[in-house]
Structure 1
Amino acid sequence: MSQPRRTPRRRAWTVLTLPALLCVLAACSGGSPSGEGVDDAAPSTAPTPSGPPGTLFDNFHYSGPDDPSLAAHGWQVRTDGGGPGIKDTWSTTGAGFPSDTTAQGGRVLRLQASTDGTKEGTRQVEVQSTGTGLLTGTYAARVHLSDKPTSGRNGDHVVETFFPISASDASANYSELDYEYLPNGGWGSVGPQLDTTSWFKADPPDRVTHALKKRVTEWHLLMITVMNGKVTYSLDGKELFTSSGKYVAREEMDVHFSNWFIDLPFTGGPRTWDMKVNWFYYKAGEAVSQADVQKTVDGFYSSGINHINTVPES
């Protein structure tokens, strides 16, 4: 059963107008407006990040968690305390941007959670957007989910997640929309399962949820559409779950990608779990089909655009 995120969040980056954004990108990338930072494997030139209004796109072509372009583009790697999972184990060490031949464009955001069964030996990882409030429209991410650890013994209650969420759990209009993959189950469930959950309140928990009881491994297109008083979750174009009534997003949210452990069921030596994100796309105020999402993303790749943000400032 899905659990709320129990830590305060702040939006630490202010949305930039396109001229200001171009200045930041030029400063961070040595004059190139492509937003590549010091990533030599990425294209050295690209069109300026202008394009369709109300669009946020990123394919995570960064050199590492300290790449200045990562923050300039409105992303941060979590290092604060709190939960969920094993509290106070959030670290930047699990966030990387390696080459990957299975990914579109050959580059991914890798979220690597690790543990040896002790709190001291546990590292959880989360990357979130900041500064650009997202609400109605279409959220889409190409995500690689794992059924077994990259190294070490299997059996951990790991949670691989993609979710938009309010900046504060205490907000009167708290909003959270979750994809959570539990390859080995958790919270009393055997697994594997993919949970989709819409929240009205974090404390006490008030949500509606649906569990897809099947193995969901490798690359998938996860989409959330928030339109006309409904939230619709779809996997590779197939609708999984719809919520309505009070279980819809009511205020602007940040988007998060996270890989964490519910508990520590055994010691048994070190193990690592990898979740990968190829790209993220958001279109404000529109319900976009899977085919049109992919067509738009393909266009960005073919034009050499690695980041774009034309979402209006709230």
Structure 2
Amino acid sequence: MLINKLLIKTQLGLMTAGMIGFCATAPFANAKSQAVMFDDFSYRQFSDAQQNGWQFRYETGHPGIKNATWWKEGISFHPDPMDNGNTVMRITAKTDGTAENTRHTQICHKRKYREGTYAARVYFNDAPQYGPDGDAVIQTFYAISPLQAPMDKNYSEMDFEYLPNGGWGTERLALFATSWETFQLTPWTKVNAYDYHIESLQGWNTLVLQVANSTLKYYINGRLFATHGADVYPEVPMSINFNQWFDPNKLVQSNLMRQYHHDVDWVYFIKDEVISPRDVTLSVEQLRKSNVAQKDTVPDWQPKQKDYCSL
């Protein structure tokens, strides 16, 4: 049965994590878990990031423009023009509307994440760096597992996806929060829950996802905008990912090349604990003050899972 929950909510900031039993305001200093993954993306080149467990996608396939290339060169590192001394990771994608000349980009970190608090500081862009505007480009931060078979019940995926030119049923720019139970590509069938928030997010944004007590809570800049339940709760370990790709159902009718990018300042995960967006920020500030550019004390999943960077 196709479950398609469209929940266009106006509850931003009106619900608190405590309403469902989360201890979301516990100070980081009192956190019980020592299992943390943090990366400040203070790298010069991708090979440096690989040493800390990051990998790039190279397999063709879903999503995006069919037979497009997944592009290692789309991952780069740059000085932050707004913060002298800071470095950001850039995710770049480009297309002229053809598969041959389309480049999607994805970067992934080990398949060992499930319950806890996920967060990233991401710079979204509403317009291309060059070329005609209007493509349905998707700029993301998410966690995902392999789909072992069509409609596999043990599939898990949790997404933040920003569509600056709309798509997926809305012509306006929107941030989607989507939690997946499962899907199949042919015929296209999905079992998920999603919400979207219509507002330009041009610039820096802090994204936080709390996963605990059979509930998922998605925050944008400290405001709760989506809550999903047990029917789409993750069952298996996932990798942490960022990617950028083009929806082939909404492309500009032009053969001119256009290029988009979004930047990532940092990513953070704490295992088996729910902490508030404010305390995520405090945790990152504490790590940076301690000159910690990268930390990973999250243990491998048992049994250890093969690293995953696809879909």
Q: TM-score range by the shorter chain?
A: 0.7 to 0.9
Distance 1:273 1:63, change over 3 A: same
Structure 1 stretches of at least 4 aligned residues deviating more than 6 Å after TM superposition: none
> What is the RMSD of the two structures over their aligned residues, measured on CA atoms?
1.9
Distance 2:127 2:163 in 1: 11
Structure 2 gap ranges (5+): 5-32, 302-311
Matching residue of 1:303? 290
Shift of 1:307: 0.8
User: What amino acid sits opposite 1:101 in the alignment?
Assistant: P
Give CA-to-partner distance per residue, 1:46-71, whole Å, 9 cap, x none: xxxxxx61100001122222x1x322
2:133·2:252 contact (CA, 8 Å) conserved in 1?
A: no
Distance 1:243 1:270 in 2: 38
- Kindly indicate whether residue 132 of structure 2 is the aligned counterpart of residue 153 of structure 1: yes
Which aligned pairs between 1:132-147 and structure 2 lie closer than 5 A? Answer: 133-147=112-126
Equivalent of residue 96 in structure 2, options 93, 116, 129? 116
- Kindly indicate whether residue 44 of structure 2 is the aligned counterpart of residue 63 of structure 1: yes
Percent identity of equivalent pairs: 34
Distance 1:117 1:239, change over 3 A: same
Matching residue of 1:129? 109
Structure 1 gap ranges (5+): 4-51
Distance 2:66 2:110 in 1: 22
Distance 1:206 1:85 in 2: 19
1:115·1:122 contact (CA, 8 Å) conserved in 2?
A: yes
User: What amino acid sits opposite 1:312 in the alignment?
Assistant: P
Matching residue of 2:70? 90
2:53·2:109 contact (CA, 8 Å) conserved in 1?
A: yes
Give CA-to-partner distance per residue, 1:144-189, whole Å, 9 cap, x none: 1110011121111101111111133535411111111111112342
Distance 1:191 1:169, change over 3 A: farther
Q: Secondary structure at the match of 2:103?
A: coil
Matching residue of 1:20? none
Matching residue of 1:191? 172
User: What amino acid sits opposite 1:70 in the alignment?
Assistant: A
TM-score, with structure 1 as normaliser = 0.79
Equivalent of residue 74 in structure 1, options 41, 53, 56? 53
Matching residue of 1:101? 81
Shift of 1:274: 0.9
1:230·1:248 contact (CA, 8 Å) conserved in 2?
A: yes
- Kindly indicate whether residue 240 of structure 2 is the aligned counterpart of residue 260 of structure 1: no
- Between Structure 1 and Structure 2, which shows a larger proportion of strand residues? 2
Distance 2:83 2:240 in 1: 21
User: What amino acid sits opposite 1:157 in the alignment?
Assistant: A
Distance 1:202 1:280 in 2: 27
Distance 1:144 1:104, change over 3 A: farther
Distance 1:155 1:169 in 2: 34
Which structure is richer in relative contact order (CA contacts within 8 A, separation 6 or more)? 2
Q: Secondary structure at the match of 2:210?
A: strand
Number of aligned positions between the proteins: 262
TM-score, with structure 2 as normaliser = 0.80
Which aligned pairs between 1:170-249 and structure 2 lie closer than 5 A? Answer: 170=149, 171-203=152-184, 204-249=189-234
User: What amino acid sits opposite 1:108 in the alignment?
Assistant: V
2:57·2:105 contact (CA, 8 Å) conserved in 1?
A: yes
1:118·1:267 contact (CA, 8 Å) conserved in 2?
A: no
Shift of 1:103: 5.2
Shift of 1:105: 5.4
2:117·2:271 contact (CA, 8 Å) conserved in 1?
A: yes
Q: Which has the larger displacement, 154-163 or 94-103?
A: 94-103
Matching residue of 1:7? none
Shift of 1:116: 1.8
Q: Secondary structure at the match of 2:49?
A: helix
Which aligned pairs between 1:3-22 and structure 2 lie closer than 5 A? Answer: none
Shift of 1:312: 2.2
